[in-house]
Amino acid sequence: MLYPRMSSGRMVFDLNGIWDFKLLEKTGTEREHAGLHLTGGRAMPVPSSYNDIYPEKDFADHVGEMVYQRTFTVTESMKKGRLVLRFGSVTHQAEVYLNGKRLGEHKGGFLPFSFEIAEQAVVGENLLTVFVNNIVDYSTLPCGRMVTEEFPGLEPRTVNLPNFDFYNYTGIMRPVWLYTTPVVYIRDITVSGKKDGSFAWDIEVSGEEEENAEVQVRVLEMNGACVYEGSGKSGSGKIENVKLWSVKEPNLYQLEVRLKTGEAIEDAYTETFGFREISIENCRILLNGEPVYLKGFGKHEEGGTRGRGTDLALMTKDLGLLKWIHANSFRTSHYPNSEEMMQLCDKMGILVIDEAPAVGLNTGFTATGLLGGNPKGTWQTLETAQHHREVMEDLVARDKNHPCVIAWSVANEPASQEEGAKEYFEPLVRLTKEKDVQHRPVTIVTYEGSAPDTCKVAELCDFLMLNRYRGWYDTEGNLRGAAAKLKAELEGFHKRCPDKPMMLGEYGADTIAGLHDINARLFTEEYQTAFMKAYGEVFDSLPYITGEHVWVFADFATAENIKRVDGNKKGIFTRERRPKQAAYFLKERWENL
């Protein structure tokens, strides 16, 4: 799906701002009022997570549905071609009405969707109503479960327990646009460039006159200089003296596409891309034929007040901190990040492991993300398989052209040790590879319960990405013992999969900023630094380790529980983006690697 951009054939209108908002007591209600102006609501900024905007715990932790509403104006000229309403994301399910008429629905809270509305829209004022459902269950990604609690003398209480260790921020969390295109239009663009300067494109054209449409393409340097001209809905070419995209020099190019019918240019769109190649050889991930050691973090897209709402200032600051600490990469834990973040990573030279929102695929997880639930056989219980396929297709379709994306993560910490895991994931991995014309590496991030002798999915992965917390959730306080256990486990996986690169996808220790102890006790900044040092020594002793992603970039909000004091505190930075002591250790380590 193309990102909304102005061009000679397109107009783009921003529908962000203050909307009317109301929590609903029962799901599925008030649809008959979708064509009426909302009463008894509150002001709500879009994009944002709704949860932290107003005080009241019941407001923040509401389970079920809510409704957003605003008006917008349509002119006669806007209705002459296609008129499209596009949402960057609505978490987790959306049902959309225009002037009281249902446009449709969308399931999945971290990817874009759109509706053509030229027929439904009227010239003048239009009323847009969006019903949002924030429930996670065994059919959604991420997963959760509904539980009814009973207490003496009280009415039963229904709670929604996530199977994941982060707060269930919800709402219209990414930008909303209205845009126009001609009747015959550029529906999609696929473009990729290789390190030798060769490239290929494929243009999808739609509309009644598409068979008569002529496609012209130009490749431009970012300064506007044209370095190639061609034509055709698909084709290939080669550029001499190409400037490669890399971490140090993230050179970008633009593919300018023009769609003509007769002498007139009907539509135009410009897509950014880069020339670079990702490959695997000798237990190493290669960028442009050279080994690259991945240094960075698992990273949430989250901060105060806006929750997971798109915040351009915060995401730019975060990438600045990544550069400061000499990181070169992160994983979009545990869901696709915004399109704006992908664009920034392209521009700033950040390598991204792009992860699906498939977290909590383990019926043994509790709301804290720790073991202790009621496992019934994950792969016989979950109802996510078809939705998971749709999400992987949409994720690859959205991010396929970004040079920053170097790999796909199909899931985080599933029950990959259980029978049925291979059968669940094998078609998903295959589908991801088929949909990606660049054939980037694919992985499944596994947890401690999936050991070298029990993991059912290791052979499906192009590289192994392991989450391990020796020295925290076990062997706590004993870093020598933790390092020994970690090294033995990594050696076990290497013996099983000797040709696969391996990296840590998560490792860390909860740390209270400002808490110090001369003996480096648990929760102190000294222990976090010693923890990082112990793990680094293990990595340096094993030649097949191809990267290290610390958990986590910054402290973040979680479900309320006694194992989390005001959220997860494993951040190398605080939630306000202030560095802890370990940040300076990692800065020096990563600068010298």
Q: Please indicate, yes or no, whether residues 383 and 524 belong to a single structural domain of this protein.
A: yes
- What is the domain-level CATH number for residue 218? 2.60.40.10
The model's pLDDT over 136-193, given as tens digits with 9 standing for 90+, comes to 999 999 999 988 999 999 999 888 999 999 999 999 999 999 999 999 999 999 999 9
Percent of the chain surpassing pLDDT 70: 98
Active site residue 119: no
Residue 581 pLDDT: 98
Closest CA to 50 of 20, 15, 25, 87: 20
158: in domain:
no
> Is residue 6, in this structure, part of any structural domain at all?
no
| Residue from 65, 302, 339, 506 carrying the catalytic annotation | 506
**Position 212 in a domain:** yes
Average pLDDT of the residues in 37-50 = 97
What is the model's pLDDT at position 91? 97
Of 262 and 173, the structure prediction assigns the larger pLDDT to 173
Q: Model confidence over 352-361: pLDDT tens digits?
A: 999 999 999 9
Please check whether residue 5 lies inside any domain of the structure: no
Q: Are residues 310 and 261 in the same domain?
A: no
pLDDT of res. 220: 98
Asked whether residue 376 carries a pLDDT value surpassing 80, the answer given is no
Determine, yes or no, domain membership for 12: no
Q: Which residues contact 246 (CB under 8 A, 6 or more apart)?
A: 276, 287, 288, 349
Task: Give the model's confidence band at 367: pLDDT under 50 very low, under 70 low, under 90 confident, else very high.
Answer: low
The verdict on 251 and 315 lying in the same domain is no
Domain limits for position 388:
291-592
Residue 26 has pLDDT above 70, yes or no: yes
Q: How many domains does the chain have?
A: 3
**pLDDT confidence tier of residue 275, bands split at 50, 70 and 90:** very high
> Is the model's pLDDT at 373 over the cut of 70?
no
Instruction: Please indicate, yes or no, whether residues 341 and 387 belong to a single structural domain of this protein.
Output: yes
Give the span between the Cα atoms of 141 and 501, in whole angstroms.
Answer: 28
Same domain, 235 and 309: no
- Structure tokens of 287? 């960028």
According to the model, what pLDDT value does residue 374 have?
62
| Better-predicted residue by pLDDT, 565 or 373 | 565
Q: Which of 51-55, 190-194, 216-220, 561-565 has the lowest mean pLDDT?
A: 561-565
Known catalytic residue: 434? no
Instruction: Give per-residue pLDDT as tens, 329-355.
Output: 999 999 999 999 999 999 999 999 999
Domain boundary among the residues 239, 273, 307 is at 273
What's the chain's average pLDDT?
96
Give 158's DSSP letter.
E
Model confidence pLDDT, tens digit, residues 83-126: 999 999 999 999 999 999 999 999 999 999 999 999 999 999 99
Q: Specify the CATH number for the domain of residue 64.
A: 2.60.120.260
pLDDT of residue 1: 85
Instruction: From 535, 574, 578, select the one nearest 295 (Cα to Cα).
Output: 535
Task: Read off the pLDDT of residues 474-523 as tens digits, 9 standing for 90 and up.
Answer: 999 999 999 999 999 999 999 999 999 999 999 999 999 999 999 999 99
Domain of residue 345, CATH code? 3.20.20.80
The confidence band for 211, taking pLDDT boundaries of 50, 70 and 90, is: confident
Cα dihedral 207→209→211→217 (10° resolution): -70
Quote the pLDDT of residue 515: 98
Q: Has residue 16 got a pLDDT over 60? A: yes
Has residue 4 been placed in a domain? Answer: no
Claim to verify: residue 243 and residue 297 sit in the same structural domain: no
Res. 261 pLDDT band, cuts 50 70 90: confident
Q: Assess whether 363 and 263 both reside in one domain.
A: no
Q: Please tell me whether residues 454 and 345 are part of one structural domain.
A: yes
Domain boundary among the residues 174, 204, 235 is at 174
Q: Identify whether residues 122 and 199 lie together within a single domain.
A: no
Q: Is residue 159 part of a domain?
A: no
- Is there a single domain that holds both residue 268 and residue 313? no
Q: Do 268 and 302 fall into the same domain?
A: no
pLDDT at 574 (0 to 100):
98
In a domain, 371, yes or no: yes
Q: Which of 174, 204, 224 is the last residue of a domain?
A: 174
Catalytic pick among 339, 413, 525, 526: 413
Same domain flag for 235 and 356: no
Whether residue 47 has a cis bond before it, omega within 30° of 0:
yes
Indicate the pLDDT class of residue 365, thresholds 50, 70 and 90. Answer: confident
Point out which residues pair with 260 in neighbouring strands: 214, 265
pLDDT reading at 370 higher than 60 = no
**380 pLDDT above the threshold of 80:** yes
Q: What is the 3-state secondary structure (H, E, C) of 396-452?
A: HHHHCCCCCEEEEEEEECCCCCCCCHHHHHHHHHHHHHHHCCCCCCEEEEECCCCCC
Render the burial of 297-326: b for 16+ CB within 10 Å, e for the rest: bbbbbbbeebbbbbbeebbeebbebbeebb
* pLDDT tens-place string over residues 462-479: 999 999 999 999 999 999
